[in-house]
Every structure is written in C-alpha cells, then in structure tokens.
C-alpha cells in the first residue's frame, strides 16, 4: 500500500488561505468519508485537526476546514498565522479496519 499523495510543501503569507490536498483512490479516500488530518510541529506529537472529512474536534480553530471531492481530500487553513507552520498529514480508512497516512506536507508561513 503506497502512502496517500500530498504535496511536499506549501506556503502562504499571514492572513492568506492555503489548501493542502490528499489524493488516494476509490479504495480509500474516495470510498469512505473517513479522512482525518493531523498537525505536527517539529519534535512534537501529532494533533488531530479534522476527522470524518470535515469535522473539527473541540478546541481546533474554525480557520481549519476539510472537504473531499472524489478521490481527493483537502485541508484548508484560512487566515494563516505563524503558529500554523508545521507538517500536516492526512489519513484515510481503507476498509477492513485498516488505515493509510499521506506522505505529509510542510507548511511554511512566509
């Protein structure tokens, strides 16, 4: 199983919006509404930001939103802030109780 495809890096200026894509197949991203997103600052533990494609856990700012179209899921961060600079990973259910992560995207806030 190959990792879900994410851009290696994206960047944006403070206040702007950025979107990170996560592309899979009809057997994972496209087949289930079970995509989650994680934020990881250097040396830190991953943090759940989005689950079930577009739901936010308590405490996650509403600047973070998720969506899906076909085999591609997306994480959009609006009103970029310096603290958003981190690595972001998507994860999808792939059936039979198995899970698959994306390769990760480094977000740089210019």
Q: Is 98 in the site for other proteins (CB under 8 A)?
A: yes
Asked if 99 is part of the footprint of other proteins (rule: CB under 8 A), the reply reads: yes
Residue 51 beta carbon to other proteins: minimum distance, rounded to whole angstroms? 4
Q: Which is nearer to other proteins, 23 or 92 (CB)?
A: 92
Q: How far is the CB of 93 from other proteins (least distance, A)?
A: 4
Measured CA to CA, the distance from residue 10 to residue 20 in angstroms comes to 7
Shorter beta-carbon distance to other proteins: residue 47 or 63? 47
Radius of gyration of the chain (CA): 13
- Alpha carbon distance, N-terminus to C-terminus of the chain: 34
**Residue 77 vs 90, nearer CB to other proteins:** 90
- Residue closer to other proteins (CB basis): 70 or 95: 95
Nearest to 84 by CA among 59, 110, 103, 58: 110
Q: Which of 34, 43, 25, 33 has the alpha carbon at shortest distance from 87? A: 43
Closest CA to 67 of 51, 57, 54, 55: 54
Site string for other proteins, 26-65 (x = CB under 8 A): ------x-x-x-x-x----xxxx--xx----x--------
């Amino acid at each position: 199983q190959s990792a879900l495809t994410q851009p290696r890096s994206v960047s944006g200026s403070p206040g702007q919006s950025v979107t990170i894509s996560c592309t899979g197949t009809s057997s994972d991203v496209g087949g289930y509404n079970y995509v989650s997103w994680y934020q990881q600052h250097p040396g830190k533990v991953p943090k759940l930001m989005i689950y079930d494609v577009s739901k936010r856990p308590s405490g996650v700012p509403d600047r973070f939103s998720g969506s899906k179209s076909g085999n591609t899921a997306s994480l959009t961060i609006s009103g970029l802030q310096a603290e958003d600079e981190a690595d972001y990973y998507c994860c999808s259910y792939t059936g039979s109780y198995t899970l698959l992560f994306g390769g990760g995207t480094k977000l740089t806030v210019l």
